[in-house]
Structures are given as structure tokens and as C-alpha cells.
Amino acid sequence: MKTRQVRTALIGCGKVGRIHAGALATLNCSKLVAVCDGHHERAEGFAKEFGGDAFVDVAEMIETAEPEAVCICTPHPLHADPAVLALNAGVHVLVEKPLAATLADCDRMIAAAKASGATLSVVSQRRWFEPVARVKAAILAEKIGKPSLAVVGMFNWRDASYYESDPWRGRWATEGGGVLVNQAPHQLDLLHWFMGEIEEISGAWSNINHPTVEVEDTAVAIVRFKSGALGSIVASLGQKPGLFTHVHVHGSNGASVGVETDRGASFIAGVSSIAEPPLNDLWNVPGEEDRLSTFRDVDRNRFSRIDATSHYHVLQIEEFLHAIILRHAPAVSGEDGRTVVAMFTAIYRSQRDGMPVKFPVIA
Ligand SMILES: NC(=O)c1ccc[n+]([C@@H]2O[C@H](COP(=O)([O-])OP(=O)(O)OC[C@H]3O[C@@H](n4cnc5c(N)ncnc54)[C@H](O)[C@@H]3O)[C@@H](O)[C@H]2O)c1
């Protein structure tokens, strides 16, 4: 049976936009009809390379090209306006992470999706990493009892040339924040996905190693979950060279499972690739202690056969389009995206007010 093709478009023909355009141009379930960028030559270049018509204005693109779904790959404070425009027109939206830079923007986007019935989803492609899915499956199967303690550790690096590569990077007004807003949303999403609803967060942030930028390069936080579980977050861009990023979950039966989502510095779209495979780095499940080396062999072997930098984006974009075709909710919801924004907002507010921040966090 031939798959239905969703009429798709891309907003934001920049670095990660290239990965989205490649997916939208090649997936069986997508017909790329338009690409849009504030810079005309970027849109023209993408149209030539990937297909579709080029636009500089989102409203005009939606009216003329009539996409059913768009991927939004603009800088963080510029996610909400094109998303609301599209959702108001009944167009389904997949936004790059984080959903937005502020809770007020998240609420506008979620309200627009509710009002029109269109789907709102957010990229969190690390959920499709096999070792991440294995951790989630182990938790669901209660192999660690109840998840009772989680540890996120990100020891990453970005140098001055990264911040100089685009004028929006490194500033509160145009990036919305630092490591919490740009690099850590993936692991914040995994933490919430693994552990469940959050009760409160206390946190602190600093810029320890990047004197030329305004935003934080380091943050730490204590998370209390509604279940009574605890979590800790240390997210930093201050280790040169970048070391690793992991998410570990310890359970009520004493067992532990974990994943190293990134080795070294995490990849920079359009600049570097995922150089080493994501791997389980902890698997103390009773009766499964010998499985870690097999998991790692399987995952290393797969890594040598795929382009991991685009592969997991393609899987999530495909899942989003299938959800539209089959009229069910996508794996990652707009509310999931809002939770991540609430998590970093809570850390900023906790430092500002000198107290823990209760959930739900209001805009
Ligand atoms: N999921 C991931 O692994 C991943 C990786 C890299 C970037 N990202 C996210 O992708 C987004 C973009 O990052 P990037 O590195 O590609 O940035 P970029 O600066 O390379 O690209 C952004 C593009 O958006 C365009 N743009 C800005 N406002 C626009 C508007 N109103 N209409 C149309 N086009 C507009 C710019 O001209 C630019 O071409 C950010 O949210 C970032 O956090 C995600």
C-alpha cells in the first residue's frame, strides 16, 4: 500500500534546517512543497538543493504553498510566532528544541494548537537512541522497581568561535539562555520522561568559563518528583575538551540503568557530527548484569552503519508525520516541550528568588 504523502514545509534554512530538509525531501510520507527563511538566498539555496518553492515570509508561504505540516528551525525566541501562525491556519507543527525560550511563548503555542486542533510537537531526537529507549523500557517493566534517584551530568564544551558563528548565540535576548536552553533540553526531557511529574526544582547557574557571552555556561539543580523520587542536574559547557553527558536512573530495588547520550562535546549541527555512539554505561538489573557488553556491541555496530547525526532526527520527523496521517498524538507533545521550558525557567527563578520553585510553573 502506498503511504500518503503529507505536504510539508521548512521554516528556518540554517544549520539544523539542513537535517530537516533532507528528511522532508526523502521520507516516503513527505512531499516537501516549500522552504522559508528570512534570508532570501538561504531559502533559494535550500529550494534548489531539496525541492519546494522558496519564501521569505511565513504567512505568504502558508497561504501560497498550503503545507499540511511545517518544521520550525529558527532561533529559540523566534519559534513561537511562526508556530502560532501555522497552528492558527490548521497546519501541524514540529518545532526544534526547546519548544520556546519562555513559558508565555509555550502557552501561546499550546493554546493555538488546542484552538485549531492541529498537532504541536517538539524535537527530542535522543528519545530514539536505542540505549535511551532501553532505559525507558526497563523503567516501564519495573526492572529497577520504582525510579527513585536520577542523575543528569553534562560536561560539555563550546568555544568562542561557536558563539561568534551566529549573532543570536550567547545573548539572553536572542538565545533565551545558555546551556540550559540550548544544549541541556535533550537531557531535561529524558529526565522528565524517565522519572515522571515534577514537584519542585531548586537551582543555581553561573558563567564559569565563557567571559565573552552573557548567558550561563553552567547550571546545577535539585529536582523533587511528585513520586517522592529525587534528581540532580549538573549541566556545563565549561570542560575542555568536552567529556561526556549521561543520564542515570537508580531504582527502589537497588538496581541502576543509565545511558551516555553523548561522548566528548555534543555535536554542533552543520559544524560537527556525532563522533561516538550513544551507549548504555550502567546496567545493574538483577539477572541482566552480563547484558551491558552485548548492548554496547550492538549499538557500536549499528553506529558504524548509520549517519547518527541525521538518523534520529529522521526517525522523529517520520513518527511526527505518521501521527498526522494516522490521526494520533505524536510521541513528544507540546506539553512535554513546555515541561522542559518550565524546568529551565524554574532554575533561573530559583536562583533569582533564592528558593525552590513549585510546579506547575506559571508564565
Ligand atoms: N535537535 C538538535 O540536535 C539541534 C541541533 C542544532 C540546533 N537545534 C535547534 O535548531 C534551532 C536552529 O538552530 P541552528 O543552529 O540551525 O540556527 P541557524 O542560525 O543556523 O539557523 C536559523 C535560521 O532561521 C532563519 N530565521 C530566523 N528567523 C526566521 C523567520 N522568522 N522566518 C524564517 N526564517 C527565519 C535564519 O535566517 C537562519 O537561517 C534552534 O532552536 C536550535 O536549538 C537543534
- List, edge to edge, every strand of the sheet that includes 357-358: 279-284, 256-263, 244-251, 147-155, 230-236, 218-225, 198-206, 357-358
The three cell numbers locating residue 37: 527563511
User: What pLDDT is attached to residue 249?
Assistant: 98
- C-alpha span between 258 and 144 (Å, rounded): 11
Atom from ligand 1 closest to the CA of residue 16? 16
Under the banding of pLDDT at 50, 70 and 90, the label for residue 269 is confident
Q: Which of 35, 39, 73 to mutate to test the pocket of ligand 1 (most atoms within 8 A of CB)?
A: 73
Q: What HEC string does the chain produce?
A: CCCCCEEEEEECCCHHHHHHHHHHHHCCCEEEEEEECCCHHHHHHHHHHHCCEEECCHHHHHHHHCCCEEEECCCHHHCHHHHHHHHHCCCEEEECCCCCCCHHHHHHHHHHHHHHCCCEEECCHHHHCHHHHHHHHHHHCCCCCCEEEEEEEEECECCHHHHHCCCCCCCHHHHCCCHHHHCCHHHHHHHHHHHCCEEEEEEEEECCCCCCCCCCCEEEEEEEECCCCEEEEEEECECCCCCEEEEEEEECCCCEEEEEEEECCCCCCCCCCCCCCCEEEEEECCCCCCHHHHHHHHHHHHHCCCCHHHHHHHHHHHHHHHHHHHCCCCCCCHHHHHHHHHHHHHHHHHHHHCCCEECCCCC
Q: Is the CB of 38 under 6 A from ligand 1?
A: yes
Q: Beta strand 147-155 with 198-206: parallel, antiparallel or unpaired?
A: unpaired
What are the tens digits of pLDDT across the range 89-107?
999 999 999 999 999 999 9
pLDDT mean over 55-65: 98
- Per residue in 243-263, pLDDT (tens digit) is 999 999 999 999 999 999 999
Burial 322-332 (b: 16+ CB within 10 A, else e): bbbeeeeebbb
Q: Which residues contact 84 (CB under 8 A, 6 or more apart)?
A: 108, 109, 112
Tens of pLDDT along 160-212? Answer: 999 999 999 999 999 999 999 999 999 999 999 999 999 999 999 999 999 99
Q: Give the residue-averaged pLDDT of 346-353.
A: 98
The answer to whether 340 and 189 are in contact (CB under 8 A) is: yes
350 ligand 1 Cβ < 6 A: no
* pLDDT band of 294, cuts 50, 70, 90: very high
**CB distance 36 to ligand 1 below 6 Å:** yes
Per-chain mean pLDDT for the chain: 97
pLDDT in tens, 230-242: 999 999 999 999 9
Q: Is the pLDDT of residue 1 over 80?
A: no
- Alpha-carbon distance of 316 to 133, in angstroms, equals 13
pLDDT in the model for residue 142: 98
- The pLDDT assigned to 185 comes to 98
Q: How large a percentage of the chain has pLDDT more than 70?
A: 99
Q: How far is the CA of 73 from the centre of ligand 1 (A)?
A: 4
Nearest CA to ligand 1 atom 34: 37
- The verdict on the CB of residue 80 being under 6 Å from ligand 1 is no
Q: Given pLDDT bands bounded at 50, 70 and 90, which one contains residue 128?
A: very high
Cα of 155 vs centre of ligand 1, distance in Å, is 24
CA-wise closest residue to 164 among 268, 255, 65: 268
Q: Point out the ligand 1 atom lying closest to the alpha carbon of residue 36.
A: 33
Predicted local distance difference test score (pLDDT) of residue 91: 98
Locate the ligand 1 atom nearest the alpha carbon of residue 95 and give its number. 41
Cell numbers for 42, please give them: 538561504
For residue 335, pLDDT over 60 is answered with yes
pLDDT band at 3 (very low <50, low <70, confident <90, very high): confident
Indicate whether residue 178 lines ligand 1 (CB < 6 A): no
Separation CA 186–CA 205 (nearest Å): 18
pLDDT (mean) for 148-155: 98
Per-residue pLDDT averaged across 271-282, rounded?
Answer: 94
Q: Which residues contact 3 (CB under 8 A, 6 or more apart)?
A: 28, 29, 325
Taking each helix axis as running N to C, give the angle between helix 15-26 and helix 308-326, from 0 to 180 degrees, rounded to the nearest 10: 50
Q: pTM (2 decimals)?
A: 0.98
Average pLDDT of 319-343? 98
**Residue 347 in this model has a pLDDT that exceeds 90:** yes
